[in-house]
A and B are shown apart, each in its own frame.
Chain A
Amino acid sequence: AQSVTQLGSHVSVSEGALVLLRCNYSSSVPPYLFWYVQYPNQGLQLLLKYTTGATLVKGINGFEAEFKKSETSFHLTKPSAHMSDAAEYFCAVSDGNQFYFGTGTSLTVIP
């Protein structure tokens, strides 16, 4: 079975600071990789995804992520945090058979 590890269940950043949310996965086959955001009492919204091609993927709301095969990582970044970025973030991997979610990282943005 595959696994997805999100380091840090809670991350706090100051408004305007860099956001870095970490995701590592285990997969024996080339994976599809996803980041989702979830606001309170809402469903998951797709931020970005990697399937093939360019390893740096740009998503909505200024987020981007880089697929690093050698490190089996897909970390999510945003250069400047905004108050509206406060939410739960989930990394997910598809290995061709199933979707695997990480346990999530709660992002707090400090004014």
Chain B
Amino acid sequence: DAMVIQNPRYQVTQFGKPVTLSCSQTLNHNVMYWYQQKSSQAPKLLFHYYDKDFNNEADTPDNFQSRRPNTSFCFLDIRSPGLGDAAMYLCATSRKGLDTQYFGPGTRLTVL
């Protein structure tokens, strides 16, 4: 089945220790998104790639970076995680910008 895969499902890191979250897709979609979701809140868009074009949300902290080496993979790098970065991180894809977004299962990040 075509799908969006996120690894790991659970990640524990220490305050200030860089961490990388991974997303891959077999849908061959053009657009990949990264969202941050805190408890009992809606997902908050961090940035997205339309093919190789990177689009950063204005209020996304510089601490968050992303890479998309090819169509299938996208990475979220948190350079120096703070306690406030503990959240669920969701990856999503869509065929084009307007289209339905398909979500991965998420990675729950804990910062100690």
Contacts and interface: CB of A to CB of B under 8 A. Distances in A.
Nearest to A90: B42
Interface range on chain A (Cβ under 8 Å from partner): 20 to 34
A43 B42 contact: no
Interface string B13-46: 0000000000000000000000000001111010
A104 B101 contact: no
A49 interface: yes
Contacts of A36: 103
B103 A44 contact: yes
Interface residues of B, number: 20
Binding site secondary structure of chain B: loop
A96 B41 contact: no
Given A32-B98, A43-B90, A96-B98, A104 B41 contact: yes
B102 A46 contact: yes
A39 to B, nearest CB: 10
B56 to A, nearest CB: 13
Interface string A40-76: 0111111001000000000000000000000000000
A103 interface: yes
A101 B42 contact: yes
Given A43-B106, A44-B103, 20 more contacts: A9-B40, A34-B100, A41-B108, A42-B105, A43-B90, A43-B92, A43-B104, A44-B43, A44-B101, A46-B102, A94-B98, A98-B45, A99-B45, A101-B42, A101-B43, A103-B41, A103-B42, A104-B40, A104-B41, A106-B40
Interface of A: 9, 32, 34, 36, 41-46, 49, 90, 94, 96-99, 101-104, 106
21 contacts: A9-B40, A32-B98, A36-B103, A41-B88, A41-B108, A43-B90, A43-B103, A44-B103, A46-B101, A90-B42, A96-B97, A97-B97, A98-B45, A101-B42, A101-B43, A102-B42, A103-B42, A104-B40, A104-B41, A104-B42, A106-B40
